[in-house]
A and B are shown apart, each in its own frame.
Chain A
Amino acid sequence: MLSKLGRIDSRVLYLILLIAFIVPLLCPLGLPMIISDEIKRTYDLIESLPEGSRVVVSFDLSPGGYDELAPACAAVFNHMAMKGLRLIGMSFWDAGPSLLDRSLAGSLYVDKEYGDDYVNLGFLAGGENAMAAAARDIRGAFPSDFHDNPTANMPIFEGVQSLKDVEMVIVVATGNPGVPEWIRQVGDPMGVPIATIVIAGLVADYAPYIQSKQLIGMIPGLRGAAGYESLIDMLGRGTAGLDAQSVAHLMILIFVLVGNIVYFAERSREKEESAKEGAA
């Protein structure tokens, strides 16, 4: 029995996992959820900003990571729109601006005034160098937006010269350039609070910045989205997907456990057999 389990076709495991994903999506289980301090701190900071405050959202992500971060972006953008905050979007990854457009279209910003309440400045090549240039002179670095509108007379930039003049930066990141570069070029030298919406794979990398308070808050992937949706009382795809994620985690743990039991049992049987052969 155990040896059969050890030789099971991996496609059978994929099928079991697929069922484990689909069933909770179709029939939500309502599993309990814990909201971490990092998520709560991001919520509190946005909640504390007065109406009309400007928040820079840097969409530094690849299409491959978008699905993980989209529910959290929708939740944060909805919160910002409800608070009347103005969103200045930009990207240092080439796929970022299109994905930002898509994210904004699915949020409450769709009913706001473009150029006054929100703007998508597009992509600027050059990684950290470009970030430093945008930090010093935002309209100089982005003379026109993603849709080719000139930024010189946009009302959203009144009184904004450098990023010192914005109230907060949110970095939506799947890698570098991303959070460390923003901390180096804007967070520390300009004293602008930075929060991040980040893929789960980078949470361990960025945790030291939370400890040192260089990052004010962190919303990690689907779990962060579910927590944030709960805080703003607008349940969405993050909450719906969390059950599926939890059940899939449980299945993976069972696979790892069973795999290890089979491995050690097989090894012990092989040792016994070789000991018997040696004695014979």
Chain B
Amino acid sequence: MNMSTSVSVWLAALVTIGLISFVFKENFYYRIVESLYVGVSAGHAIVLGWGNIRNLAIRPLGEGNVAVIIPIILGLMLFTRYFEKWHRVSRIPTGFLMGLGAGLSMRGIVGSQIIEQIKACYVSLNSINNILIVVGTFAVLSYFFFTVEHDGFVGKSATLGRWFMMLCFGAAYGSTVTGRISLFVGRLQFLLGDWLGILQ
């Protein structure tokens, strides 16, 4: 057994134990560690945000790139929301950001998440997997088809679609459990290996 002498490893171990202590009972130690996590995350985000402002705005401006004045002004306009008289001005850069984001996403969504996914359903019905893909797609789409009553063939198809979705939710939930277990295994490997030195 070769216990770590690193301050950072000890700190990480004590914080980990503090967070895990919640499963026993909510306690003072847990609340301190939780607040510490929130504070450190916020501080980290501010430092990195400042790095972005320095690299993409202040530094290029200092090098004579006057074009960055436009995004700098738009960025500063966002702060007008803190002044009652001028708060409407902040809607201009917000609208710009929304329009830009929506435009970029729409361009990609139509091609990547609609057309390509429809193309992926053009498969030969020569295997159980392929049959399941085609039947599952039609059944789930029919569940969300509200123009006609869900009875007869459409009703049966919609019910089948609901079953497919239930299976999908089950798979997603199972995957989430697996993920949480993986996280805990990682923390245990850290505690038993890096900190206590029991694992090699």
- Given the complex, which residues of B lie within 8 Å of A205, measured CB to CB? 172
Q: Decide yes or no whether B197 CB sits under 8 A from chain A.
A: no
Q: A22-B192, A67-B190 are in contact. Are A244 and B185 (CB under 8 A)?
A: yes
- Given the complex, which residues of A lie within 8 Å of B189, measured CB to CB? 25, 237, 240-241
- Given the complex, which residues of A lie within 8 Å of B187, measured CB to CB? 67
User: How far is it, in angstroms, between the C-alpha of A202 and the C-alpha of B174 when the chains are bound?
Assistant: 11
User: How far is it, in angstroms, between the C-alpha of A222 and the C-alpha of B14 when the chains are bound?
Assistant: 24
User: How far is it, in angstroms, between the C-alpha of A114 and the C-alpha of B184 when the chains are bound?
Assistant: 33
Contact A94 B179 (CB under 8 A): no
Closest chain A CB from B181 CB (angstroms):
5
* Segment 146-187 of B: residues with Cβ below 8 Å from A: 168, 171-172, 175-187
Q: Give the bracket for the number of chain B residues in contact with chain A.
A: 35 or more
Surface stretch bound by A, among B27-35, B79-87, B106-114:
B106-114
Contact A94 B104 (CB under 8 A): no
User: Please, what's the 1-or-0 string for A39-71, where 1 marks a CB less than 8 Å from any CB in chain B?
Assistant: 000000000000000000000000111111011
Contact B188 A25 (CB under 8 A): yes
Contact B108 A189 (CB under 8 A): yes
Q: Give the bracket for the number of chain A residues in contact with chain B.
A: 35 or more
- Given the complex, which residues of A lie within 8 Å of B109, measured CB to CB? 184
A94-B49, A123-B52, A125-B49 known; 10 new pairs, CB 8 Å cut-off, are: A25-B199, A66-B186, A67-B185, A95-B41, A128-B108, A143-B59, A185-B104, A205-B172, A222-B185, A245-B182
* Chain A residues packing against B (C-beta within 8 Å): 11, 14, 21-22, 25-26, 63-68, 70-71, 94-95, 97-98, 122-125, 127-129, 132, 142-144, 180-181, 183-185, 187-189, 199-205, 208, 211-214, 220-223, 237, 240-241, 244-245, 248-249, 252
Residue among A26, A97, A125, A200 with most chain B CB within 10 A = A200
Q: Decide yes or no whether B198 CB sits under 8 A from chain A.
A: yes
User: How far is it, in angstroms, between the C-alpha of A22 and the C-alpha of B184 when the chains are bound?
Assistant: 11
User: How far is it, in angstroms, between the C-alpha of A212 and the C-alpha of B168 when the chains are bound?
Assistant: 18
Closest chain B CB from A238 CB (angstroms):
9
Contact A184 B172 (CB under 8 A): no
Measured CB to CB, the nearest residue on chain A to B110 is A184
Measured CB to CB, the nearest residue on chain A to B137 is A208
Q: A26-B198, A94-B48 are in contact. Are A128 and B179 (CB under 8 A)?
A: no
- Given the complex, which residues of A lie within 8 Å of B176, measured CB to CB? 200-201
Measured CB to CB, the nearest residue on chain A to B170 is A204
Q: Decide yes or no whether B105 CB sits under 8 A from chain A.
A: yes
Number of A-B contacts (CB under 8 A): 152
Contact B55 A240 (CB under 8 A): no
Contact A241 B182 (CB under 8 A): yes
Contact B183 A67 (CB under 8 A): yes
Contact A222 B52 (CB under 8 A): no
Residue among B55, B119, B175, B181 with most chain A CB within 10 A = B181
Q: Decide yes or no whether B44 CB sits under 8 A from chain A.
A: yes
Q: Decide yes or no whether B38 CB sits under 8 A from chain A.
A: no
User: How far is it, in angstroms, between the C-alpha of A41 and the C-alpha of B197 when the chains are bound?
Assistant: 36
* Segment 1-49 of B: residues with Cβ below 8 Å from A: 23-24, 41, 44-45, 48-49
- Given the complex, which residues of B lie within 8 Å of A71, measured CB to CB? 186
Closest chain B CB from A214 CB (angstroms):
6
